[in-house]
């Protein structure tokens, strides 16, 4: 079908974003995205939607129904559109490409969020510490990690609880000793991709250092450079809700919160002593292992 034929079949145009639709009803439903009106309500959780077509898909989140199955890996999804997006993981298709840096994704809506990186736009602000984020999901994760005591994710090996899935996944490596990121130049392997990236830069000169334009200090990742520049500026946007202390980065704030918590993640295999901080734990294990060998 040519572009001309496509416009003939989708002859109803949105005046706000120039998208075209087959019928005036679909155009009217779409228009509610721009007005913010959501007249259709879920009777279970009261969540509201712009179109009635979203309701049966949403209702499956309450029933657990997932009728659409991936033929490659057998994962199941609540809607056909979710399955289509997932299938691109197997095909490698990434149709959403940034015109500025050529970074691409298989996920719809990616470009809208990604462009905020180039525009330095961070519209989502934490009400507790004034930290700013490009994505609403990042803000939610931040509030959970930094400002909440809830730990809904439990380790199946040692029963410790974690705030996020990513923290639990990182912790499980302790038990399995899994290092899924091998170096292509030497036998070394690493548990986290960012550690591999740093290794490649420092040991094999592969990659590009990010350099502070004030003191020329080198960093392997953008977040590290950003936090470092805050130190030059004297900016400390992250503050503790328990005491007057303030910090340049969310990582420092998370580390500080251990002072106010009884949570001890790291356990010595030799004497079962537990520690809050990994650096203290490693010093203890080195000492304990030497005593054990005597």
Question: What pTM, to 2 d.p., does this model score?
Answer: 0.41
CA distance readout (Å), 65 to 46, 58, 60: 19, 10, 5
Distance CA 21, CA 37 (A): 19
Q: Do residues 31 and 74 share a domain?
A: no
Distance CA 167, CA 171 (A): 6
The length of the chain, given as a count of residues? 294
pLDDT at residue 292 in the model: 59
Cβ(142)–Cβ(125) below 8 Å: no
Burial 90-112 (b: 16+ CB within 10 A, else e): eeeeeebeeeeeeeebbeeebee
- Whether residue 2 is predicted with pLDDT greater than 60 in this model: the reply is no
Q: Has residue 157 been placed in a domain?
A: no
Q: Which of 63, 81, 99 is the last residue of a domain?
A: 63
- Whether residue 48 is predicted with pLDDT greater than 60 in this model: the reply is yes
Q: Has residue 20 been placed in a domain?
A: yes
Which residues have a Cβ under 8 Å from the Cβ of 164 and sit 6 or more positions away? 141, 144, 145, 153
Domain of 1?
1-63
- Whether residue 7 is predicted with pLDDT greater than 60 in this model: the reply is no
Cβ(12)–Cβ(20) below 8 Å: yes
Query: 3-class SS at 222?
Result: helix
- Whether residue 76 is predicted with pLDDT greater than 50 in this model: the reply is yes
Q: Has residue 105 been placed in a domain?
A: yes
124-155 pLDDT, tens digit per residue, is 888 877 778 877 877 887 787 777 777 788 88
* Total structural domains within the chain: 2
- Domain CATH code at residue 104: 3.30.160.60
Which residues have a Cβ under 8 Å from the Cβ of 170 and sit 6 or more positions away? 191, 192
pLDDT at residue 291 in the model: 65
């Amino acid at each position: 079908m040519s572009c001309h034929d496509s416009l003939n079949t989708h002859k109803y145009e949105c005046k706000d974003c120039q998208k075209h639709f087959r019928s005036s009803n679909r155009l009217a439903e779409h228009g509610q995205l721009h007005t913010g009106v959501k007249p259709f309500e879920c009777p279970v959780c009261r969540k509201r939607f712009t179109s009635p077509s979203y309701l049966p898909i949403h209702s499956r989140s309450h029933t657990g129904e997932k009728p659409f199955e991936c033929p490659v890996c057998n994962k199941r999804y609540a809607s056909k559109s979710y399955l289509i997006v997932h299938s691109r993981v197997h095909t490698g298709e990434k149709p959403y490409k940034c015109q500025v840096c050529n970074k691409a994704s298989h996920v719809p809506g990616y470009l809208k969020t990604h462009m905020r990186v180039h525009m330095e736009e961070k519209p989502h602000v934490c009400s507790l510490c004034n930290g700013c984020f490009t994505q609403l999901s990042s803000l939610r994760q931040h509030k959970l990690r930094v400002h909440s005591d809830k730990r809904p994710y439990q380790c199946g090996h040692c029963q410790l609880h974690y705030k996020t899935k990513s923290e639990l996944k990182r912790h499980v490596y302790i038990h399995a000793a899994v290092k899924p990121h091998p170096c292509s130049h030497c036998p070394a392997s690493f548990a986290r991709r960012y550690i591999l990236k740093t290794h490649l830069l420092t040991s094999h000169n592969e990659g590009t250092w990010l350099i502070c334009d004030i003191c020329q200090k080198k960093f392997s990742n953008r977040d590290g450079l950003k936090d470092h520049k805050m130190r030059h500026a004297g900016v400390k946007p992250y503050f503790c809700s328990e005491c007057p202390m303030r910090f340049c980065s969310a990582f420092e704030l998370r580390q500080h919160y251990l002072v106010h918590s009884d949570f001890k993640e790291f356990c010595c295999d030799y004497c079962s002593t537990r520690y809050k901080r990994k650096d203290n734990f490693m010093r203890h294990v080195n000492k304990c292992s030497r005593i054990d060998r005597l």
